[in-house]
Chains A and B, each alone.
Chain A
Amino acid sequence: MGNEVLARAARAAGATAMYGYPITPGSEVLLWWAKEAGSEKGKKEGMVFVQAEDEIGASFMLLGSVMAGRRSFTVTAGPGNVLMQDAFSMCEAMRIPIVAYINQRGGPSTSTVIYSQSEVTLTAFGGNGNGYRIVYAPSNLQELYDYGIKAFNTAWKYRFPTFLLADGYQAKMMGEVEIYDPHARGIEMVDTERYLLEEKRDRPIDQVVPKPEVHIRLQDGVEYSCYRNCLNLEEETLQVNMEIKEAWDKVAYEIEEHESYGPGQAETLIIASGIVGAAAKQACDQLGGKARLFRPITLRPFPAEALKAAIKGAKRLIVPESAIAQLSRLVKEILYGVTDAPMIEYHRPSIGINVDEIVDLVNRHHV
């Protein structure tokens, strides 16, 4: 099951702590982690599992655990994702590399526990400021595992909160997955570091945390780190925002990922993400050269230049998504003034989009 794949990915990545609150369709990650952490091996390794009082508690515990230097994560969905934005926003402010697996469910509000792609905007742009965060959108079970591991390395290498944006279908889906030890594949996990009570740092903490938010004091040869979340002046807030943006702009291009699929001369370009992207890929196979796919793997940073290159020669764009205009809004922002090709939006909030539907969609608009 996808949720077990996620839990195994975190374990393989070397995570030793999970803080969560049960919510469908993510709860099985908690179940797996609780069993692992409570086992003899888990106890020996000092693994941590806390079922918190709510998602607010879970996400702030996660933040604290990461500041204590431990590779830690959470899993949530829907209304839980809303509650956790408070902590995620603080992680953006202080560049705290939490990892969160999000399994999208129906919305608005409690809605259905099953499936949607309605948390794209929230996951990529939640928070009450100009936050920067990394969002991967896996499209199948193997990617849940691969990017479930990668999310930890990306978070700790770049020090931005990092999200794996899956959905309820992937979370509950059964299938074959190749489970591997990342070290055996030559994937080295980036070292973690304490924000508080650290004895020795690889790089000064004020090169990570915006300067107005961290004060280092020296007394008797010992360094003390003090972090501020409340600023006094607009100018300080400006500096914090600009420092974070500058750090982001330097590395965003390294983080961007996408998949292009199908014949380059195809007139229709489908832009789809996650599990809808997987369906679109199969649709391309059935359409005999009429359509090709651009699938952003990172929704943030969005692979903008790659998309601009991909639309060359396209006579029309089709954007199917299980939401109302969340992916297409991102696409429009990038393509403003770049192309005259019409965009056909196909919005099915909280409903799966299957291969035949996409094939029909392409055929209907193919001239």
Chain B
Amino acid sequence: MSETLAKLAFPKCVRIESKPHLFCPGCGHPEVLKAFGFAVDELGLQRQVAFGVDIGCSLLAFDFFNIDTIETHHGRTVPVMVGIKRGNPQAISVAYVGDGGAYAIGMGSLLNAAIRDENILTIVVNNAVYAMTGGQEAPTTLPGTKTATTPYGADNHFVKGPDLIRHLNPTAWIARGITTRQLGLRKLMKEALEFVKEGKGFAFLEVLSPCTLNWGTIEDPHATFDILENKMASVYKLGHF
């Protein structure tokens, strides 16, 4: 990619040498990361952010930026980033996790970080599936969806993270965005980063994001949009909580 084009397409804090990125065609992660990067640029936080990525597809973000980054361990990104913030109060500590890492294996740590009002930002990329391990059911998988571990369709129960966290923490900054609205996502990222920068407590942003590979829509963008915009966004409401 030419340097000029790259500068137009990407935030300054993005590491150009690691592009093209490692995500699948049509994956939502790059959109989320791009929005985050633009917000970091705008607030001038490139040298203050400590960025923690979970195991799962989010780990592929380990070399997305020129930002100090730590690839942690599955479900453990929130406590690691809590420790980094407690250890270095000047750090803007950001946990970047998938819906499995946040709402299944890492749920205990996530909820308790919210209860303690830890001064970190947690970004959850919700694609309603365990993507890297091959398309198994996630706590966010919608009823009836067939996944690798729900061959007859998922049950009727699923988690709404932002609602749950609002119950636990009345003062936290909480919102849900979607990858198909890049400018809105940038705005949310900026608000969230400002909130933690000002030491106001726990910030939580969930982003609805497509997984074309495990949704079986890699060659059908219309189907991808239909699942994301119609099925997911109708259940998982967008906006502030």
Contacts and interface: CB of A to CB of B under 8 A. Distances in A.
Given A224-B67, A230-B71, A197 B50 contact: yes
A48 B118 CA distance: 13
B62 A53 contact: no
B222 to A, nearest CB: 33
Contacts of A61: 79-80, 82-83, 86
A87 B111 CA distance: 19
A70 B88 CA distance: 8
A207 interface: no
A194 interface: yes
Interface string A39-61: 00000001010101110111011
A53 B108 contact: yes
Interface stretch (A215-223, A268-276, A352-360): A215-223
B79 A68 contact: no
B117 to A, nearest CB: 12
A136 B76 CA distance: 28
A5 interface: no
Interface magnitude class on chain A? 35 or more
Given A61-B86, A65-B86, A197-B91, A86 B68 contact: no
A251 B79 CA distance: 31
B2 to A, nearest CB: 18
Q: Decide if the interface of chain A is mainly helix, strand, loop or mixed.
A: mixed
A48 B87 contact: yes
B55 interface: yes
Chain A CB within 10 Å — which of B81, B83, B112 has the most? B83
A57 B108 contact: yes
Interface of A: 17, 19, 46, 48, 50, 52-54, 56-58, 60-70, 72, 86-87, 90, 194-197, 215, 217, 219, 222, 224-230
B70 interface: yes
Contacts of B84: 64-65, 67-68, 196
Contact of A197 (B15, B63, B76, B88): B88
B66 interface: yes
Chain B CB within 10 Å — which of A63, A66, A225, A226 has the most? A226
Interface magnitude class on chain B? 35 or more
Given A57-B109, A68-B87, A222-B47, 4 more contacts: A53-B109, A64-B82, A194-B88, A230-B62
A225 B112 contact: no
Contacts of A87: 73, 76
B87 A197 contact: no
A215 B64 CA distance: 12
Contact of B83 (A46, A64, A230): A64
Interface in B109-157: 109, 111-112, 116
Contacts of A229: 55, 59, 70-73
Nearest to A49: B86
B112 A53 contact: yes
Chain A CB within 10 Å — which of B17, B70, B82 has the most? B70
A194 B82 CA distance: 15
Chain B CB within 10 Å — which of A17, A50, A53 has the most? A53
A60 B86 contact: no
B41 to A, nearest CB: 12
B66 A228 contact: no
Contacts of B67: 224
B70 A86 contact: no
Interface of B: 15, 17, 46-48, 50, 52, 55, 59, 62-63, 65-73, 76, 79-91, 108-109, 111-112, 116
B76 A65 contact: no
B126 to A, nearest CB: 21
Contacts of A225: 68-69
A225 B15 CA distance: 12
Nearest to B132: A230
Given A56-B76, A217-B66, A229-B72, A64 B109 contact: no
Q: For the complex of A and B, list the 10 residue pairs with the smallest distance between their C-beta atoms, beginning with the closest.
A: A64-B83, A68-B87, A65-B87, A53-B112, A61-B83, A68-B88, A60-B79, A70-B87, A65-B83, A64-B80
Nearest to A196: B68
Given A197-B50, A222-B47, A228 B87 contact: no
Nearest to A230: B59
A219 B83 contact: no
Contacts of B55: 229-230
A62 B82 CA distance: 9
Nearest to B107: A53
Contacts of B81: 64
Contacts of A62: 83
17 contacts: A17-B86, A50-B86, A53-B109, A56-B76, A61-B83, A63-B83, A64-B82, A66-B87, A86-B73, A196-B84, A197-B47, A197-B90, A217-B66, A224-B69, A226-B68, A227-B69, A228-B62
Contact of A219 (B66, B82, B109): B66
Contacts of A69: 87-88
A215 B67 CA distance: 11
A332 B144 CA distance: 58
